[in-house]
């Protein structure tokens, strides 16, 4: 990376912008990712910060850069796709900070879809076949799990990743489900998928790090596996600090250093700029952050030692007979713990928020699911 270092001086720093998590393993993994990026730029100060529920906050990280006499910051969102956090929360926070200080902040692109990210995904799936010699790709069905967003453009990118991996590895079939916000969610999606007749199903969480959502994917897929003992379910590892992921971060930094990041912007399907069918009311909405109330709150979950075990979502000591009280308990349990991505904000209501295979099924599990979760945990 000597070429890069020769173009930089001590007044330039790099900020890796994370979402944040209460899960300790997720934070550890994020630190490791930042360390690997720092190795690519040994003479440049690289810091990281989070939007919520973890420290340091983005503001803390910016303050640290300023205290080191940094005058220009290259801020890269550690996000797979450009949804609300990338389009609203992070840039709003960065712009407000820049206005209040003498620091210049240049905002880079999310990781997005490129050859490197596709290769990282394909390699994670191929690892399953390396560990299971009897598996045949064309006889296996791949289920890619995205985080889920109220932005249809971001959701569609997960489906594109699915197709690219299916063709890259030569799999028999591919489907896309989501861990929250949109539809289909993991469990109802998998219950539809098993009807296709494949005997081998590979579940791949298209996530950067561990956490409650990855654990939720495991738990919900295990419920479907219990009801379908004739099908083998295999779990691929999430992306983590795969070498191709690190290379993509380097690409995003290079784009800014070479002053060509604007050449890669694609707003053709952004719901804030184009009149997408079903999302017409969101064109031209003012973009602002909705994380001020949680930024800098360094909450860690004490229910699990390292990797999330889902205790915050399944720790219901007894099944409540009264349905109204049951639903109230579940809602409060989700709200008070990890289901924090459903912030109250000033944006339009997600038009598919009541889809029967979507957020409603996540918010209100059935009594059978509660019973099963209670027994298993």
Q: What are the pLDDT digits (tens) for 250-294?
A: 999 999 988 875 655 555 555 555 544 555 666 665 555 554 545
165 and 198 together in one domain: yes
Q: Are residues 260 and 225 both part of a single domain?
A: no
Task: Determine, yes or no, domain membership for 297.
Answer: no
Q: Both 228 and 323 in a single domain?
A: no
Cα gap 178→158, rounded to integer Å: 9
Q: Is 202 exposed, middle or buried (0-12, 13-18, 19+ CB in 10 A)?
A: buried
- Beta-bridged to residue 57, according to DSSP, are 50
19, 334, 338, 347: which one is catalytic?
19
* Phi, psi (deg, nearest 5) at residue 246: -60, -40
Domain shared by 225 and 249, yes or no: no
Q: What is the CATH number of the domain that holds 202?
A: 3.40.50.1400
- End position of a domain, from candidates 215, 235, 255: 235
Task: In whole angstroms, give the CA distance from residue 319 to residue 368.
Answer: 10
Which of 193, 218, 235 is a domain's end point?
A: 235
- Residue 153 domain flag: yes
* Residues 148 and 228 grouped into a single domain: yes
* Calpha distance 275→263 (Å, rounded): 22
- pLDDT per residue as tens digits for the range 39-91: 999 999 999 999 988 999 999 999 999 999 999 999 999 999 987 778 889 99
186, 120 Cβ separation under 8 angstroms: no
What per-residue confidence (pLDDT) applies to 175?
98
**Strand (E) or helix (H) holding 307:** none
Pair (124, 186) in one structural domain? yes
| Residue 290 covered by a domain | no
What's the pLDDT score for residue 121? 97
Query: What's the confidence (pLDDT) of residue 340?
Result: 43
Contact between 16 and 47 (Cβ < 8 Å): yes
The neighbour count for residue 226, using CB atoms within 10 Å, is 11
Same domain, 198 and 144: yes
Question: What total of structural domains would you count in the chain?
Answer: 3
The question of whether 230 is a catalytic residue gets the answer: no
Residue 141 in any domain: the answer is yes
Q: By residue range, what is the domain housing residue 182?
A: 115-235
Residues 256 and 358 in one domain: no
Specify the pLDDT at position 156. Answer: 95
**Residue 54 CB: number of other CB atoms within 10 A?**
26
Do 108 and 246 share a domain, yes or no? yes
Regions of the chain with pLDDT less than 50: 1-7, 275-276, 291, 293, 315-346, 364, 366-368, 370-377
What is the model's pLDDT at position 354?
80
121 and 220 together in one domain: yes
Same domain, 147 and 168: yes
How far apart (Å, rounded) are the C-alpha atoms in residues 223 and 373? 9
Same domain? 316 vs 369:
yes
Q: Is residue 155 part of a domain?
A: yes
Task: Give this prediction's pTM.
Answer: 0.78
Residue 305: the pLDDT is: 59
- Give every strand in the sheet of 12-18, ordered side by side: 45-50, 12-18, 72-77, 104-107
**Is 322 a domain residue?**
yes
Task: Please report the pLDDT score of residue 336 as a whole number.
Answer: 44
Assigned domain for 175 exists: yes
Please check whether residue 246 lies inside any domain of the structure.
Answer: yes
Domain boundary among 235, 253, 287: 235
Predicted confidence at residue 367, as pLDDT, reads 44
């Amino acid at each position: 990376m000597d070429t890069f270092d020769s173009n930089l001086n001590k007044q330039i720093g790099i900020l890796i912008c994370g979402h944040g998590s209460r899960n300790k393993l997720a934070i550890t993994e994020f630190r490791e990712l930042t360390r690997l990026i720092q190795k690519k730029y040994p003479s440049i100060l690289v810091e990281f910060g989070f939007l919520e529920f973890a420290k340091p906050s983005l503001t803390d990280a910016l303050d640290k850069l300023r205290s080191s006499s940094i005058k220009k910051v290259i801020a890269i969102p550690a996000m797979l796709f450009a949804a609300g956090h990338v389009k609203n929360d992070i840039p709003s926070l960065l712009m407000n900070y820049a206005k209040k200080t003498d620091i210049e902040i240049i905002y880079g692109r999310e990781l997005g879809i490129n050859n490197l990210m596709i290769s990282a995904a394909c390699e994670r799936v191929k690892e399953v076949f390396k560990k299971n010699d009897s598996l045949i790709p064309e006889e296996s069905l791949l289920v890619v799990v995205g985080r889920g967003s109220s932005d249809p453009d971001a959701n569609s990118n997960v489906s594109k990743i699915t197709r690219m991996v299916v063709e890259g590895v030569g799999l028999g079939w591919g489907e896309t489900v989501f861990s929250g916000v949109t539809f289909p969610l993991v469990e109802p999606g998998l219950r539809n998928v098993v009807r296709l007749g494949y005997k081998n199903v590979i579940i791949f969480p298209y996530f950067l790090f561990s956490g409650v959502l990855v654990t939720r994917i495991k738990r919900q897929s295990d419920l479907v596996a219990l009801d379908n003992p004739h099908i083998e379910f295999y779990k691929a590892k999430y992306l983590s600090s795969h070498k191709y992921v690190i290379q993509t971060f380097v690409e995003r930094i290079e784009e800014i250093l070479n002053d060509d990041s604007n050449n890669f912007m694609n707003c053709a399907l952004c719901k804030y700029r184009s009149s997408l069918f079903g999302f017409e009311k969101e064109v031209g909405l003012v973009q602002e952050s909705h994380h001020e109330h949680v930024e800098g709150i360094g909450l860690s979950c004490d229910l699990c030692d390292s990797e999330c075990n889902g205790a915050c979502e399944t720790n219901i000591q007894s099944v409540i007979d009264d349905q109204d009280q049951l639903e109230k308990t579940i809602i409060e349990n989700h709200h008070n713990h990890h289901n924090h991505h459903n912030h109250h904000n000033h944006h339009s209501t997600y038009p598919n928020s009541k889809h029967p295979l979507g957020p409603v099924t996540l918010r209100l599990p059935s009594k059978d699911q509660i019973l099963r979760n209670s027994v298993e945990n």
